Amino acid sequence: MTALTLLATLLLGAAPTPPASVAKAVEAAHKTMKAALLKQTPKAEIELRQESGPFATVIAVAAIVDAYPGSGVQRTVIDATSGTTYGAHGTKTFADFARAHGWLKTLPSSDELVMFLNLALFDGIAIIDRGGDESIDLTPEGLRIVITRRFMPSNAGERLTITVGASGAEVIKREPLRE
């Protein structure tokens, strides 16, 4: 077990034994993500694991061992009941998850929402600046999330506005920060 795996297990907790459909989804996600990472770095050692995620999800993780921090990892969010996959590497979008969970009518906890968004859209490695002008609102267009994402080592950033409407994928608008 690498130090990163130990840290993730301590912070996120070990995932419970999932139903067969979820185990199958985790296995398929691991296979797809491992292939993608090996395409980037053909001789890399890839670690596969699963973690508990927010909103009753399981997170399938594929990570290049000893990769530069903030790189070499992919995550797929999996509904812990149905086995449906969501996010950048899933069969459905972040927006599909939000609509299925009623977020266009009732907002979830902002902490869990931002964590989930990071896992689903940015493989859990985005540096989200929670001290900025963050907002999570219901608008006539749907769910609107405004967050600040930072980059290392420069600490430069961008303001992300993620909109989830009644149908279709989420729309992400990126604006460089003017500091």
1 and 88 assigned to the same domain: yes
Give 44-103 pLDDT, tens digit per residue: 999 999 999 999 999 999 999 998 888 899 999 999 999 999 999 999 999 999 999 999
Q: How many other C-beta atoms are found inside a 10 Å radius of the C-beta of residue 126?
A: 18
6 and 85 assigned to the same domain: yes
* CA dist list (Å): 102 to 13, 86, 96, 99, 173: 26, 16, 10, 5, 23
Is 27 a domain residue? yes
Host domain of residue 40: 1-92
pTM: 0.85
Q: For residue 14, give the DSSP letter.
A: B
Is 140 a domain residue? yes
pLDDT of 6 reads: 43
Is 97 a domain residue? no
Give 153-177 pLDDT, tens digit per residue: 888 899 999 999 999 999 999 999 8
Is 80 a domain residue? yes
Residue 115, amino acid: M
Q: Which of 43, 59, 92 is the last residue of a domain?
A: 92
